[in-house]
Amino acid sequence: MPELTLIEAVNRALVHEMAADPSVVVLGEDVGVNGGVFRATAGLAQRFGAERVLDTPLSETLIAGMAIGMAAEGLRPVAEIQFMGFIYPALDQLLNHATRLRNRTRGRLTCPLVLRTPHGGGIHAPEHHSESTEALFTHIPGLRVLIPSSPARAYGLLLAAIRDPDPVLFLEPTRLYRMVREVVEDDGSALPLDTCFVLREGPDVTLVSWGAMLHETLAAADALSEHGIGCEVIDVATLKPLDIDTILGSVMKTGRLVIIHEAGRSGGLGAEIAAQIGERGLLSLQAPIERVTGYDTIMPLYRLEKAYLPDVARIAAAVKKTLEFQ
């Protein structure tokens, strides 16, 4: 079985769905002959033709808006926004239209589109190429927001996203694109949506994260296990709608919760998770919930990005804090 990087897994999922379903079309800037700036769409135009793999004009509003029109007319567009820093013109289309069309028309018109975009920092990228603003989108009713943390989950979740009858924002952790290889069976099986994945079981503390940060989270769990601390590690994967039940179940077992995300702290998705655990699991908690996050600052240019991003030491310190709480 092939070992794939995350970006290759994205590519395989696209190829699989395009081969299986002629209504799947790909659009975005440089996605055609160039195969996308990260090569997510490499080979698609050559294999499926330029009429199914559209190099769009440099028009983010159009990319999202056009995908809505395509989806309402029965296609399954998979649109790429080249970098998350340029997604904001499309926010209007997502918020005002894509997520509302089904509701407004009482199910008459629907919007099965996927908007893919690279997410997060840590790759020494230029300005505007490293932010993680998922919480802007998890606030939007009617949207699904997904973020894989491994090649296999990228493959399975992207298939699920394309097949889903509603709009999906699919965030791809840029830092993971080529960081790890993993065996991915290209058999067309999708992973379930709206559910967290428990990556590792452990009795002492629950670590909740998503996207690239899971790698620091898992490394912290490894380091802590050498000190006899057993961490349960949860990959949220579907950021919206949020599967709080899995997180709550884990917290009821461990009594401690540390949430790790690279986005800024205030109003981040970690705040929502903490609030819901506070509402529903307060009496299970043996220590205050800890958050290890980016800061409420502008994402610095890359000389300082390491200082912004949570790392193993910060995660481990937060875990110890929950364990030492009296």
Partner 1 sequence: MQQSVAHFEIAYTQFLDEAGRTVQGFPEGLRDPATLRALYEVMVRTRTFDKKAIALQRTGQLGTFASSLGQEAIGAGVGAAMRPEDVLLPSYRDYAAQFSRGVTMTEVLLYWGGDERGMDYEKPRRDFPICVPVASHTCHAAGVAFAMKYRGEARVAVSILGDGATSKGDFYEAMNAAGVWCLPVVFVVNNNQWAISVSRRAQTAAETLAQKAIAAGIPGEQVDGNDVVAVRERVGVAIERARAGQGASLVECLSYRLGDHTTADDASRYRDPAEVEAAGRRDPIERLRGYLLRAGHWSTADEERLLAHAAAEVDLAVTGYLALPALPPESMFEHLYASLPQSLEEQRRAVAAASDA
Which residues from 122-141 bind partner 1, rule CB under 8 A?
141
Q: Which is nearer to partner 1, 112 or 173 (CB)?
A: 112
Residue among 28, 35, 36, 77 that touches partner 1 (CB under 8 A)? 77
Q: Are strands 205-209 and 197-200 parallel, antiparallel or unpaired?
A: unpaired
How far apart (Å, rounded) are the C-alpha atoms in residues 256 and 121? 28
Q: Is 30 in the site for partner 1 (CB under 8 A)?
A: no
Q: Is 43 in the site for partner 1 (CB under 8 A)?
A: no
Q: What is the largest CA-CA distance in the chain?
A: 64
Stretch that binds partner 1, among 98-106, 124-132, 145-153, 305-313 (CB under 8 A): 98-106
Query: How many residues at the interface with partner 1, by CB under 8 A?
Result: 48
Q: Which is nearer to partner 1, 113 or 221 (CB)?
A: 113
How far from 322 is each of 224, 233, 247, CA to CA, in Å?
13, 15, 17
Write down the residue that tokens 């005002």 correspond to. Answer: 96
Q: Is 71 in the site for partner 1 (CB under 8 A)?
A: yes
Residue among 92, 182, 186, 311 that touches partner 1 (CB under 8 A)? 92
Where would I find the H helices in 21-99?
44-48, 60-72, 88-93
Q: Which is nearer to partner 1, 24 or 231 (CB)?
A: 24
Q: Which is nearer to partner 1, 212 or 237 (CB)?
A: 237
Q: Is 147 in the site for partner 1 (CB under 8 A)?
A: no
- The phi and psi torsions of 46 (rounded to 5 degrees) equal -65, -40
Residue 66 beta carbon to partner 1: minimum distance, rounded to whole angstroms:
4
Residue 142 beta carbon to partner 1: minimum distance, rounded to whole angstroms:
5
Q: Is 242 in the site for partner 1 (CB under 8 A)?
A: yes
Among 247, 315, 314, 258, CA closest to 286: 258
Residue among 204, 243, 290, 305 that touches partner 1 (CB under 8 A)? 243
How far apart (Å, rounded) are the C-alpha atoms in residues 150 and 212? 8
Burial (CB count within 10 angstroms: exposed 0-12, middle 13-18, buried 19+), residue 198: middle
How far apart (Å, rounded) are the C-alpha atoms in residues 81 and 88? 10
Burial (CB count within 10 angstroms: exposed 0-12, middle 13-18, buried 19+), residue 57: exposed
DSSP per residue over 97-146, as a string?
A: IITTHHHHTTTSS----EEEEEE---S---TTSS---HHHHHTSTT-EEE
3-state SS class at 178? coil
Q: Which is nearer to partner 1, 132 or 238 (CB)?
A: 238
139 is catalytic: no
Q: Which of 119, 124, 128, 129 is catalytic?
A: 129
Q: Which is nearer to partner 1, 192 or 267 (CB)?
A: 192
Stretch that binds partner 1, among 126-134, 153-161, 164-172, 173-181 (CB under 8 A): 164-172
Residue among 62, 223, 252, 287 that touches partner 1 (CB under 8 A)? 62
For the record, the structure tokens of 143 come out as: 């949207």
Q: Is 70 in the site for partner 1 (CB under 8 A)?
A: yes
Q: Is 154 in the site for partner 1 (CB under 8 A)?
A: no
C-alpha neighbours within 13 Å on the C-beta side of residue 110 = 11
Stretch that binds partner 1, among 152-160, 239-247, 257-265, 287-295 (CB under 8 A): 239-247
Residue 131 beta carbon to partner 1: minimum distance, rounded to whole angstroms:
22
For the record, the structure tokens of 236 come out as: 């949220």
| Residues binding partner 1 (CB under 8 A) | 25, 51-52, 54, 56-57, 59, 61-62, 64-75, 77, 89, 92-93, 96-97, 102-110, 141-142, 144, 164-166, 194, 241-245
Known catalytic residues are: 129
